[in-house]
Structure 1
Amino acid sequence: MAHESGKKGEELVYWDGREQAIVANWVDVEDHQFEPPAAKLIFKMVIKPNNCLAPDQGVVAEAEAKLGNVLDVYETQLAKFMSLATDKYTIADLLHLPNLQSLMGTPAKKLIESRPRGRAWCYEILARPAWAKVLEMKHTAQV
């Protein structure tokens, strides 16, 4: 854990047990609520078409409805904090990046953009310099 492995003098985030539990809860939400419908949409809207296969629109609609419900919860949470778990960027936000990056290139983008706080959160975390570096490294590796 970062709070145990930092070097003396480095600024690290120190959380009490309650704050750690809140972050862990949002990590679970990402894993069990956000990721399944997001992954289904990415498969149906990106991977299948890239392999010349048509997506099943019924499955897409169902996954969009599930993801929309999750994003409604996020919208409420983001009215309280700048990020999902707290006013600081945490692993709970970081875990969303790959799926958000992919979803923003699909028609499912409308699910995020129709929620003002979710849209702002999404664009803010996608614009983080560390994520830009990840995308640059990915592009370099594919060339």
Structure 2
Amino acid sequence: MAVKLYGFVPSNATLRALVSLFEKDIDVEFVKVHMANREHKTPEFLSRNPFGQVPVLEDGDITVFESRAITKYVAEAYSDKGTSLVFKDSKKSAIQTVWMEVEGQKFDPTSTRLTWELHFKQIFGLTTDEAVVIEFEKKLADLLDVYEHRLTESKYLGRDRFTLADLHHIPNTHILMGTKVKSLFDARPRVSEWTFDILSRPAWVKVTSMFPK
């Protein structure tokens, strides 16, 4: 029985879950949730995720929601398939977990605010708040300085190979590469190299092929 992922492709959380499944070469049935029709708020969908958000993963008798919980489940439940996305060694795993937390607690709030102001507002015909952009550009620059130092110590954030610590960054980073803050990534050689690396992975290229034309 194929794994099912309920989601909406423009949703960055959905994209995060999808890329983890593709890295693992898992046969996945993607079930599109029509957000405009509020399918995510129907009783049927709420039975899968009481918060009414995408994505949701169903694998046999287990249902998992929250994208980072999904990627962790996929990495551990299918450890023998595809790319190894987590470390089994406790010390290496600890470092990986630190940078997963950095993504969730520091990178995601900053990058999400910038993607909203510089990308999604344009789609919805809204006006960009330049004061907010300036504030969060500074936050992103400071954060990327830390990343630049980290990436002088190892090729990837979680140590010597691609893991969930890197994967979780992909959707927002992809969007930011199409905005003026791309220059903040390009100005830092190690960050720039890492960004090109993670956005060039075949699993992510496969995800981008699903984007609306």
- Fold match (TM-score > 0.5): yes
Asked if residue 30 in structure 1 is aligned to residue 140 in structure 2, the reply is no
Which amino acid letter does the alignment assign opposite residue 38 of structure 1? Answer: S
Residue 143 of structure 2 is matched in structure 1 by 70
Paired with 1:91 and 1:85, the residues of 2 have a C-alpha distance of 8
Asked if residue 108 in structure 1 is aligned to residue 181 in structure 2, the reply is yes
* 8 Å CA contact 1:3, 1:14 repeated in 2: no
Q: CA RMSD in A?
A: 2.0
* 8 Å CA contact 1:38, 1:67 repeated in 2: yes
Paired with 2:87 and 2:201, the residues of 1 have a C-alpha distance of 22
Unaligned stretches of 5+ residues in structure 2: 1-72
If the length of structure 2 is used for normalisation, what is the TM-score? Answer: 0.61
Residue 162 of structure 2 is matched in structure 1 by 89
Cα separation, partners in 2 of 1:54 and 1:5, compared to 1, 3 Å = closer
Q: 1:123 aligns with which of 196, 203, 208?
A: 196
Cα separation, partners in 2 of 1:98 and 1:79, compared to 1, 3 Å = same
Larger fraction in strand = 2
Cα separation, partners in 2 of 1:4 and 1:129, compared to 1, 3 Å = closer
Residue 56 of structure 1 is matched in structure 2 by 129
Paired with 1:73 and 1:120, the residues of 2 have a C-alpha distance of 15
Which amino acid letter does the alignment assign opposite residue 21 of structure 1? Answer: A
* 8 Å CA contact 2:100, 2:168 repeated in 1: yes
SS at match of 1:53: coil
Paired with 1:3 and 1:90, the residues of 2 have a C-alpha distance of 12
Tell me how far 1:90 sits from its aligned partner.
0.5
Tell me how far 1:15 sits from its aligned partner.
2.6
Cα separation, partners in 2 of 1:133 and 1:62, compared to 1, 3 Å = same
Tell me how far 1:3 sits from its aligned partner.
5.7
Residue 43 of structure 2 is matched in structure 1 by none
What CA deviation, in whole Å up to 9, does each residue of 1:65-98 have, x standing for no partner? 1111110000000001010111100000000000
Residue 42 of structure 2 is matched in structure 1 by none
Q: Using the aligned pairs only, state the percent identity.
A: 39
SS at match of 1:79: helix
Unaligned stretches of 5+ residues in structure 1: none
Cα separation, partners in 2 of 1:92 and 1:55, compared to 1, 3 Å = same
Count of residue pairs the alignment pairs up = 139
Please list every run of at least 4 consecutive aligned residues from structure 1 whose deviation after the TM superposition is greater than 3 angstroms. 1-7, 9-14
If the length of structure 1 is used for normalisation, what is the TM-score? Answer: 0.88
